[in-house]
Amino acid sequence: MVTQLNIISDEKTQHLITPGNFESVHHTSDVNTEIHSDKSKNGFALKVSSVLQTTLDIEPLIKLFSQQIKPAIPHDGFTYHNDPLGLALHYGKKCKNLCQYRLLVNGEPLGEISLHRRWEFSSEDKKVFEYTLCGLVYPLRNAILYKLALQAANKDALTNVYNRSTFEETLNREVQLAHRHNRSLSMIILDIDNFKLFNDNYGHVLGDEVIKRTAENINACVRSTDIVFRYGGEEFVALLSNTSLAGARLLAERIRQKIANNSIAYNDCDISITTSLGISELTEGEQNASFFTRADKALYEAKGSGKNCVRVSD
């Protein structure tokens, strides 16, 4: 049974709040604990909270919280789930006996936390856990806000794919990894054909919709391990790890066809979109600039070949 813990507090002070009313939980047995009084529980929670202030990274934060509370609440495993952030963290072993809480601050969900162990949790264990969770919520919320800020800085606001500044950093990392582990890496550069005509003939609202729809169609074709970026106005880049030139060409053709086959309904008209794509595969010892330039050159070859086609770098 999941217990919901909702911390109601002053947004400005963010002082430690001790547990108040919680949804009922099943208590079946008691074990001894060194933390008996509410005062000592509160002191322990404050100590845990101060330690957690040392990081804004969610994964180390959750692991550190588990380590800090383990002397007071022995457990075999620890899990944290935050579906909106796509996080599912687990440390140690999963056991049938759980102590689960859904965390909220002023009604704002922060995810679910579970302790696992081989023997049952006592009512005192759960009470201590409730106090320590009150010391976790603000460091956890700060870490969540930090992660969301990083994501916003790395993403293009219109399409929600990664932006150009993120591309430069990611390209450098992926090239280094490919060389270090001797694995293939390919790149697709895609440009929307005649994009200026969409803005000139129909306005920028449709132009934005064309860009958004193109990004959606690209994402529908790539794998979860592929990374898509909006490089410029109507230009996108996809980095494909562990993908040969032949594999990249198949994917590029699939993307091109999907975009061409999905028109946009606008003012009783079906607006068709076509794209041109250039591909390159990283060669031994090749640097970022050359890798990108070859794919870009292949793109311009596609443009010069009548558009709506794929061309491969030599």
d(CA 254, CA 35): 62
Active site residue 234: yes
Name the token pair of 67. Answer: 């380590």
From 30, 59, 58, 35, select the one nearest 47 (Cα to Cα).
Answer: 35
DSSP 135: H
> Would residue 196 be called left, alpha or beta, if left means φ above 0 and alpha means ψ between -120 and 50 degrees?
alpha
Task: Name 261's Cβ contacts closer than 8 Å, sequence gap at least 6.
Answer: none
Q: Do residues 78 and 62 touch, judged by C-beta distance below 8 A?
A: yes
Q: Chain centroid to CA 96: how far?
A: 29
Among the listed residues 130, 174, 234, 281, the single catalytic one is 234
User: How many alpha carbons lie under 13 Å from residue 291 in its C-beta half-sphere?
Assistant: 26
Q: Which residues are catalytic?
A: 234
